[in-house]
Structure 1
Amino acid sequence: MLLREFWNDRFWPYCTRNLRESTCVGYESAWRLHVAPRFGAMQMESISVELVDKWLAGFASSGAARKAWAVLRAILRRAIRWNLLDVDITRRDIQLPAKPHYEPVILGIRQQRSLLQGFYDHPLEAWLICAVSCGLRTEEGYGLEWSDIDLRAGVLHIERGLQWVSGHEVVVPPKTELSRRTLPLPRFAVKRLRELKPREGGRLIGALTPPQVARQYKGWCKRYSLPHVPARNLRHSWATNTLAAGADIAIVSKILGHSDIKTTARYYLKPDIAALRDAQRLWERALIA
């Protein structure tokens, strides 16, 4: 079977039935731009490791190469699962371009304080309080509704996310089962959210769309010289600062909704130089004792 035939008749219909719309958009783009031009007219069993290696070596961007390979791999593995392909090249040693190192810019604890103070009485203040103080994914913060917040118990419930896909809003379920969680709010947040809560409820971002929230947030920071990072990095900032303050990594991982504590350690556990010096002092003390 030609790869194009499998995509059109089997794989793409499967994607539209089972995957998030945002994931489908990414798959379709990688297929149309990269996978179909090279392999679409080939028999699936003719796709070899050598051909894939040569194809990946021709990408100008390592990120685009890795995304394109992820889509081709997903297609071939689905064909294998449905007994339409016998040879599994996806588990061979494919030569992927090196993944570029990404070090997100985060806010220090004092910068977080300044940011919250700078948004006092702003229409986005409630959203920002929750995003800054609970380590939410961007889509989780956008999807928060006032009915998700129990101010008597001092907790908020993550029930959904709100994404902006191809020019329209998409309400999605939590990313994983562990992402559906109940999080405690800090005391200052409970007190301020009680003052901000409207009678009519609704979303914390009101009638704004995710792109409008991002623009207003960035514009206000720029206008008043407030510390600014992209909304997704508010999550990074909370996790890094909470771990640095001495919180247990297992608890932080649970609050973040991670399925694996290794993810928390890999991306958020970054001791500063003072903590590293403390570790050296402990070792030195043991050495000379």
Structure 2
Amino acid sequence: MLLNEYWDESYWPACGRLRECTCVGYASAWNRHIRPELGDVELADLTAPRIQAWLDRIGSAGAARKSWAVLRQMLHSAVRLGILDVDVTGRVTPPKPSGYEPEVLDIRQIRRLLRGFHGHGLEAWLICSVCLGLRTEEALGLEWADLNLNTGKVRIQRGLQWVDGHEVIVDPKTELSRRTVVLPRFAVLRLREIRPREGGQLIGLLNPGQVARHYAAWCRSQNLPYVPRRNLRHSWASTALGAGVDVAVVSRALGHSSIATTARYYLRPDSEVLREAQRTWERALIR
């Protein structure tokens, strides 16, 4: 069976149960990188050297890793279905991750950003994004009904994505992502002041793309600290950890399935935190 045939007849139809944004990503990798060079190859002829040579020809390391991951899932599935005897993608070396560290805001910059959005139409969305460490889609999907402004508790039970030019409501990423988080007191007080009578979404009638543009434009026009929306989550996590919040608590608030994920991607103490750690260690040493 040709890889083209396997995609059309078996693998792609089975992707219907996945998130729409995931399917779009898979289809992009397939159409741009996998199908043109490997589509007409028999599954049994997909050897490790052939796949390695194909990967090495992809100019972008990120695109190569994504394409390799999609091909690997395809061959895993083919083995499970008995269409292929062995998956050789494990013998291939994809490009290493870039080690990208997102730009984050420190606590002073967060304070400036919150003050700069006072009275703006996206203030409620920004407060929750900055104060709760939400994923981009989670913050976009928040409705006023999800906020209990008596207790300060916020239910995270959906996400809002922009996929192929339309909005898509999605379930939380994992079971632990369906969680309840708590707003700080100042946020509760301010949200009570600006809560609309009619409720609805925190972003109003804007779509995700418009939120991104309005947010970036206001930061530029008011000379406010700016990071992409997804980095507001990183900013909360890094400042919370820097302030001494236990990593297990931060992990739970972020909705991570493992504390190891939190430590790997968010536990990057700044130089002052490291300096204080050395002072503590030194005091113990010379006591």
In structure 1, the partner of 2:150 is 152
Gaps of 5+ in 1: none
Shift of 1:284: 3.3
Shift of 1:188: 0.7
Shift of 1:152: 1.5
Q: Alignment partner for residue 221 of structure 1, among 207, 219, 222?
A: 219
Contact 2:51 2:89 in 1 (8 A): no
Residue type of the partner of 2:246? Answer: D
In structure 2, the partner of 1:257 is 255
In structure 2, the partner of 1:205 is 203
In structure 1, the partner of 2:11 is 11
Shift of 1:38: 1.5
* In the alignment, structure 1 residue 169 sits paired with structure 2 residue 173: no
Gaps of 5+ in 2: none
* In the alignment, structure 1 residue 192 sits paired with structure 2 residue 190: yes
Shift of 1:215: 0.5
Which stretch has the larger CA shift, 144-153 or 248-257? 144-153
**Dislocated runs of 4+, deviation >4 Å:** none
In structure 2, the partner of 1:84 is 83
Separation (CA, whole Å) in 2 of partners of 1:279 and 1:122: 40
Shift of 1:45: 1.4
In structure 1, the partner of 2:31 is 32
SS in 2 for 1:208: coil
Shift of 1:98: 2.5
Shift of 1:256: 0.2
In structure 1, the partner of 2:22 is 23
Separation (CA, whole Å) in 2 of partners of 1:201 and 1:32: 42
Separation (CA, whole Å) in 2 of partners of 1:281 and 1:118: 36
Shift of 1:46: 1.1
Q: Deviations over 1:92-111 (max 9, x none)?
A: 3x121222121211111011
* In the alignment, structure 1 residue 279 sits paired with structure 2 residue 277: yes
SS in 1 for 2:14: helix
Separation (CA, whole Å) in 1 of partners of 2:202 and 2:279: 47
Shift of 1:286: 4.1
Separation (CA, whole Å) in 2 of partners of 1:194 and 1:284: 47
Q: Deviations over 1:24-44 (max 9, x none)?
A: 111111101111112111111
Separation (CA, whole Å) in 1 of partners of 2:190 and 2:283: 46
Q: What RMSD in Å do the two structures reach over aligned CA positions?
A: 1.1
In structure 1, the partner of 2:68 is 69
Separation (CA, whole Å) in 2 of partners of 1:147 and 1:285: 50
In structure 2, the partner of 1:50 is 49
Separation (CA, whole Å) in 1 of partners of 2:101 and 2:46: 36
Shift of 1:275: 2.1
SS in 1 for 2:181: strand
Separation (CA, whole Å) in 2 of partners of 1:169 and 1:213: 13
Residue type of the partner of 2:140? Answer: Y
Residue type of the partner of 1:228? Answer: Y
Separation (CA, whole Å) in 2 of partners of 1:249 and 1:99: 24
Aligned residues: 287
Q: Alignment partner for residue 134 of structure 2, among 136, 140, 146?
A: 136
Separation (CA, whole Å) in 1 of partners of 2:21 and 2:28: 11
Separation (CA, whole Å) in 2 of partners of 1:193 and 1:286: 45
In structure 1, the partner of 2:99 is 101
Residue type of the partner of 1:7? Answer: W
Shift of 1:285: 3.7
Question: What's the TM-score, normalizing by structure 2?
Answer: 0.97
Contact 2:72 2:87 in 1 (8 A): no
